[in-house]
Structure 1
Amino acid sequence: MFIKRFEEAKPYDAPNHHGCFGLRLQGFEEGGPKNQWVGLSQFLPGGGAGPDSTPFEKVYVVLEGEMTMIADGKESVLRPLDSCTVWPGEVREIVNRSNHVCKMLVVIPYPQGANQ
């Protein structure tokens, strides 16, 4: 078992994100997970990411607030404890259209060749 306290989480900058503060909760550390890492993304009102895609799938879980997910011309609003899988190569955009901060867990596999 590997425990990491919230106070130990380090900030990270996610590419093509704006109005977002990310903390790495698990991953890229000695003794941590071997297959994926987990981030906490905190989006200010108007914050978001994309449109873009990645060569791997990722999972989003909204903890607080709401997030509008846009893919294939369709929009869906995720609210607390709603989740979404974004497929490899799928172009998505996310936007916090509310006046509240959106807190979201992000689960992403390590990039190929990354040193876990």
Structure 2
Amino acid sequence: MHLKRFTDAEPYDAPNHRGVAGLRLQGFEQGGPENQWIGYSQFLPGGGAGPDSTPFEKVYVVLSGELSIIVDGVETVLGAMDSCTIPPGEEREIINRSNHVCTMLVVIPYPAGTRPGAKS
């Protein structure tokens, strides 16, 4: 078992994000997960990301608050304990349209050649 306490989570800056504080809960460390990493995102009111896409899928799990996700011009609001999968290459935009902080878990596979112990 690889244990990591919340107090030991390291902040990270995600590209093309605004009004967001991210913490890496698991991943990119020896003994941690081999296939994906887990982020904890805190979106301030008006905060968001994109529009953009990535070459790998992402899973979002809203823990508290609500977050709008826009794909192909369709806006979907996720509330507490709602989740979605964004497939590789799908362009999405995320916006916190509420006046409350939205917290979300993000599960993302490692980019090629970056996982711990990966041979370059």
Partner of 2:56: 56
Instruction: Write the letter of the residue equivalent to 2:80.
Output: P
Task: Tell me the equivalent position of 1:76.
Answer: 76
Deviations 1:10-69 (A, max 9, x none): 000000000000000000001000000000000000000000000000000000100000
Question: What residue ranges of structure 2 are gaps of 5+ in the alignment?
Answer: none
Contact 2:63 2:105 (C-alpha < 8 Å) held by counterparts = yes
Which structure 1 residue ranges, 5 or more long, are not aligned? none
The residue identity in structure 2 corresponding to 1:112 is: A
1:113 corresponds to: 113
Aligned-residue offset at 1:73: 1.0
Q: Distance in 2 between matches of 1:64 and 1:81?
A: 7
TM-score (norm 2): 0.96
Please report the RMSD computed on the Cα atoms of aligned residues, expressed in angstroms. 0.5
SS at match of 1:18: strand
Cross-structure match for 2:30? 30
Task: Give the whole-Å Cα distance in 1 for the aligned partners of 2:72 and 2:113.
Answer: 30
Q: How many residues matched? A: 116
* Aligned residue number for residue 99 of structure 1: 99
> Residue 33 of structure 1 aligns to which amino acid in structure 2?
P
Q: TM-score, normalised by structure 1?
A: 0.99
